[in-house]
A = this chain, B = another copy of it.
């Protein structure tokens, strides 16, 4: 079993808030991340696939194809977008990295045919990092 990871990038804006909260409660809960007009980040998205390398190629999965899949399914939908407004699969979701990681897992998991999806990692800033392993 070998683990292979591909990292892709996207730049997006978001606002953390719960529609059912008052403004005060949103501010208390999400702090400056609840700024009404939003803010943004350069996100790093890493996708790890676990599998047995094919003896004929030495590869679990073609990294170019894994990259294309991540771009088609995720990056093209979120890059240079507002995560609260522009993304179909994020409608009604508070766009924390915890939620993003689980939703990206659900989208990518059925599409990985060689090896199996092992982990989704998202960093929002150099100091904040989330991982989801489908557990």
Taken together as a complex, chains A and B put the C-alpha atoms of A128 and B59 apart, in Å, by: 12
Contact B11 A39 (CB under 8 A): yes
A106 part of interface (Cβ distance < 8 Å): no
B residues less than 8 Å from A130 (CB atoms): 2-5
Taken together as a complex, chains A and B put the C-alpha atoms of A38 and B85 apart, in Å, by: 10
Q: Closest residue to A8 on the B side, CB-wise?
A: B127
Q: Closest residue to A26 on the B side, CB-wise?
A: B57
Contact B1 A13 (CB under 8 A): no
Number of copies: 6
Contact B29 A11 (CB under 8 A): no
A77 part of interface (Cβ distance < 8 Å): no
A-B contact pairs, 28 of them (CB 8 A): A1-B132, A2-B102, A2-B131, A3-B130, A4-B130, A5-B128, A5-B129, A6-B129, A7-B127, A9-B125, A11-B39, A12-B40, A13-B40, A14-B40, A16-B58, A18-B56, A18-B57, A32-B80, A38-B38, A38-B40, A39-B80, A41-B41, A41-B42, A42-B125, A58-B94, A58-B96, A59-B98, A60-B98
Chain A contacts to B: CB under 8 angstroms? 1-9, 11-14, 16, 18, 29-33, 35, 37-42, 46, 53, 56-60, 62-64, 67, 79-82, 84-86, 93-99, 101-102, 125-133, 135
